[in-house]
Structure 1
Amino acid sequence: MWACFRISFFRRRKLQIDEKNSQKYETVIGFLQSHGFENSQIAKLVSRQPSVLHNKVSTNLKPKFEFLQEIGFDGPLLPKLILSNPVILARSLDSQLKPSFFFLKEIVESDEKATASIWRCSWLLTFNLKGILKPNTDLLVREGIASRSIAKLIVKEPRTIMQKVDRMIQVVKMVKELGIEPKSGMFVRALKIRCSMSDSNWKKKINVMKSLGWSEKEIFTAFKKEPKYLGCSEEKLRDVADFCFNTAKLDPETVISYPTLFMSALDKLRPRYKVLEVLKVKSLLKNIKIPRMLVGGEREFVEKYVVKHLNEIPNLMDIYRGNVTTGTKSVL
């Protein structure tokens, strides 16, 4: 068995392998195979974490595998988890893996949610628990953020909680200074977006909005309404602004009130605006808020603004799908 893997391992990487321990290596490989690892997965694991070949099966690998299976990583999930973070096999079961899992379980209040958060980001099992994860969580608790919001953050966006403690303190302070209360649901959303960007990228986004004529007050007013809009790329911010101001002729105050416009694909906004133009020509728009029409759900839009008016404008669906132009002659 070992002979079959030996050449593959040496080709992938220069490994410190002692042929005198070939029997030990075979035992490890056999153990991995018995737990669903395919040969290609074993080769990949050993190339990334060579020390696995030197682990004792009975006292090291077996207890770790049993624990991972107990918390929900069984069958094909087990190899996938370990390959996503081979460091798992290099960490202590009792001083790292178990404490990390039970810490997560205490926060999210169920085995299933703790497992889900690890599946989303396997580094939660091996990250610095005492130095980062727990201090960051304690900070959010002290700030008054609801436990359910912290739990959701860990399950859905675990990398946010993995920031260095001094950076987390800085971001929390910044979000509070914008006037977003920690007890509001918007606080965690703002925290996620700000933590996802370096300071330099954050400044670039702010400068893009300023170049479009927005003041800092306007930028952050929109951020308080929908933090995700500043998570858009610089190009996306410029392109959507161009559409809003030059095509849809929306005023800045309206766009500030609907920052979700920046999160919408232009391929969604443009055909909707074409429909809007046609409905305006036919005087079929009454008391309609254009931004709401542009960012609403697809089904609602088609039913309320396309299907509803097919009797008056038979080719409206084709216009929406881009099959015909919106020239006046085509709709009158």
Structure 2
Amino acid sequence: MLRSLLRKYPFRSTPILLRFLHHPNPKPPDESTAAATVSYIRSSCGLSLSAALSAAKEVHLKSTANPDAVLALLKGHGFTRPQIANLVSKNPALLAARPEKTIKPKLEFFAGIGYTGANLGKLISSDPRLLSTSLEERIVRNFDLLKTLLGSPAAVIAAIAGSSRLLRCNLSTVVLPNLQTLRDHGVPAPKIVMLVSWYPRVLMNKPDRFTETVKLLKGMGLKPMWTKFILAINAMSGLTAATWERKLAVYRSLGWSENETLMAFTKHPNCMLSSDKKIRKVMEFFVKKMNWKPAFVAAEPRLLGFSLEKRTIPRCSVLSILESKGVMSRKWGVHTFLLISEKDFLENYVIKYGKQIPEVLEAYQGKLEFVGLQARYRRSQWKSAIAEEFNRRSS
């Protein structure tokens, strides 16, 4: 075997092969070096014993000179001790990196585009691979390309906050094909910028799957120029086929037809991202406490996204008090008290009636138990709401 290899790879390969045969495995660190490494990582980087033991398996420190220089550089750029601990636990080999050549230029680049102090530490500690990615060949090129696409450094920073992988991945093989798909299907430039800024992870899906998602959403009647189209891309990209079927089953068990669920999704895509538990809890409240038909909630799916404890129940409690005092018309609609802004709700209901009806403030603060509304939402009203939605979609 050895003789045949020598014949195939003569002269230059011989010393390499002999060295390989002489040292088949790298020499493990001695016990004193391992113990010193663990001690250093614990005392200088703030890791727990278990984390330090794990880190010491990946880096062996025979001297503290280099790791001291690395840590001094990080501290000099505003990294906090917890951020350094998090960074070293994720990437112990960083302690052996060349501080001046490998680390410092990248820290200076990020500081130059607006990341300083704890913000810089947060970025790097959350994604340590940024420090091992080529600065000129990948990080700077990607940043400049994203700046051209999004229009400003601030927009790029917003996108990076959503996924720092944008600076590490090969944009030409993943992100750019997906952006081209959006253009080909008529998504206007401002909406593309919105998607990159809000949901950058979505653009890192495989191009064939991304294209399939865009086509599917257009087939469901969503228009590429709508903001809802961007929301739907994000929602659909985060759901597997099995999860989508499970969500349909959950809504079906709560009284929605499949058409009503699809209608709700096209109107408010995030309704498919709520947990099964929250969906059931919110629907139970509206059906049992508010006496609403499931079909009415399906026509206003934004209601499912609100916090029961922080928004829905306090507002409904205020409404119940006002209705019991006879100052609230029975012709109220869902838009008037659940969908309006917090500022408008406070002005129109809490502040307006708070002085003459003290219970209003107590109800808003959650100090009164909400037992439900006596009056049902009129059948004609929820039928009208559904008919209005279908007419809007067909127009």
| TM value normalised by structure 2 | 0.72
Q: Are 2:318 and 2:360, in contact at CA under 8 Å, matched by a contact in 1?
A: yes
User: Counterpart in 1 of 2:53?
Assistant: 11
| CA–CA separation in structure 1 for the residues paired with 2:360 and 2:156 | 49
1:25-64 pair list within 5 angstroms: 25-37=67-79, 41-42=83-84, 44-64=86-106
1:96-139 deviation per Cα after TM superposition (whole angstroms, max 9, x unaligned): 11121112111211012112321342222112322212222222
| CA–CA separation in structure 1 for the residues paired with 2:108 and 2:252 | 55
1:276 aligns to 2:276 (yes or no): no
1:153-168 pair list within 5 angstroms: 153-168=195-210
Q: For residues 313 and 105 of structure 1, do their structure 2 counterparts lie closer, same or farther at Cα, with a shift above 3 Å needed?
A: same
User: Counterpart in 2 of 1:330?
Assistant: none
Q: State the 1:316 CA deviation.
A: 3.6
Say which SS state the counterpart of residue 239 (structure 2) adopts.
coil
Residue in structure 1 matching 2:164, options 122, 128, 132: 122
User: Counterpart in 1 of 2:343?
Assistant: 299
User: Counterpart in 2 of 1:186?
Assistant: 228
| CA–CA separation in structure 2 for the residues paired with 1:29 and 1:272 | 52
Q: Are 1:261 and 1:291, in contact at CA under 8 Å, matched by a contact in 2?
A: no
Structure 2, unpaired ranges of 5+: 1-34, 42-51, 372-395
| CA–CA separation in structure 1 for the residues paired with 2:227 and 2:80 | 44
1:104 aligns to 2:146 (yes or no): yes
| CA–CA separation in structure 1 for the residues paired with 2:74 and 2:321 | 64
Say which SS state the counterpart of residue 173 (structure 2) adopts.
helix
Q: State the 1:18 CA deviation.
A: 5.8
1:166-245 pair list within 5 angstroms: 166-245=208-287
Give the counterpart letter for 1:187 in structure 2.
F
User: Counterpart in 1 of 2:4?
Assistant: none
Provide the aligned length of Structure 1 versus Structure 2: 325
Structure 1, unpaired ranges of 5+: 328-332
Q: For residues 323 and 78 of structure 1, do their structure 2 counterparts lie closer, same or farther at Cα, with a shift above 3 Å needed?
A: closer
User: Counterpart in 1 of 2:7?
Assistant: none
User: Counterpart in 1 of 2:193?
Assistant: 151
Identify the range of structure 1 (290-299 vs 104-113) with the bigger mean alpha-carbon deviation.
290-299
| TM value normalised by structure 1 | 0.84
Percentage identity across paired residues of the two chains: 31
Q: Are 1:232 and 1:263, in contact at CA under 8 Å, matched by a contact in 2?
A: yes
Q: State the 1:178 CA deviation.
A: 1.1
1:78-89 pair list within 5 angstroms: 78-89=120-131
Structure possessing the higher radius of gyration over alpha carbons: 2
Q: For residues 308 and 83 of structure 1, do their structure 2 counterparts lie closer, same or farther at Cα, with a shift above 3 Å needed?
A: closer
